[in-house]
Amino acid sequence: MASEVNSKKIVAGILAILLGGLGIHKFYLGYNTAGIIMLLVTVLTCGAGGLVMSVIGIVEGILYLTKSDDEFERIYLEGRKEWF
């Protein structure tokens, strides 16, 4: 189970850093509403809002990757904390 959490944490962190403006990491973690919000902000502002969403994605990716497996599981998988 810990290996599964670790791989989920790493994938979510990398997706957040690389594709954060599109909210792909939110969809990966099952936060569909948050993912749609990020995607729509990026698309509906013709990419201008994507800069803000990308910064949010980078911050979230760093947070995901710096948490221990137990913290990540407790906060983001069990606690379902969608933002930061």
In which band, very low, low, confident or very high, does the pLDDT at 8 lie, cut at 50, 70 and 90? very high
Reported as a pLDDT band with limits 50, 70 and 90, residue 84 is confident
At 37, list the tokens.
């919000």
What's the pLDDT tens digit per position in 50-81?
A: 999 999 999 999 999 999 999 999 999 999 99
What is the rounded CA–CA span in Å between residue 80 and residue 84?
A: 11
The model's pLDDT over 36-56, given as tens digits with 9 standing for 90+, comes to 999 999 999 998 999 999 999
Q: Which residues of 11-44 are buried (b: 16+ CB within 10 A; e: fewer)?
A: ebbebbbebbbbbbbbbbbebeebbebbbebbee
pLDDT at 1: 61
